[in-house]
Amino acid sequence: MGASVSSLLHSLAPPSVVQEQLSPLSSPVPVAMYPMLSTVFLALGLLLTGVFFLYQVSHTRHDRVLVQELALGGISSVALGLGAFFLLLWTGVYV
């Protein structure tokens, strides 16, 4: 009952497999790029949100194109989401 996971792995698998399984994880994006990615994605998202707002204000209801609205809204929300994600990583909140 008191066996740890590490001792269980050592007893079930050869040493080379255990060493590969216990190797530390690393981020696919370098930590030094978090500030730049956060800034770029947040700026892009805010810019596209502004373009979306201006599009809604300047066109009448009958002149608007649904595909253009969905594209602007979708791309801006993805950019803002990525910007918020990298901002959290940059500040040390690892999600």
Task: Decide if pLDDT at 91 tops 60.
Answer: yes
Average pLDDT (17-22) is 60
Task: Decide if pLDDT at 3 tops 80.
Answer: no
pTM above threshold 0.85: no
Higher pLDDT, 59 or 16: 59
- Residue 94: per-residue pLDDT: 86
- Residue 70: per-residue pLDDT: 96
The string of pLDDT tens digits covering residues 29-83 is 999 999 999 999 999 999 999 999 999 999 999 999 999 999 999 999 999 999 9
Question: How many other β-carbons are positioned within 10 Å of the β-carbon of residue 51?
Answer: 13
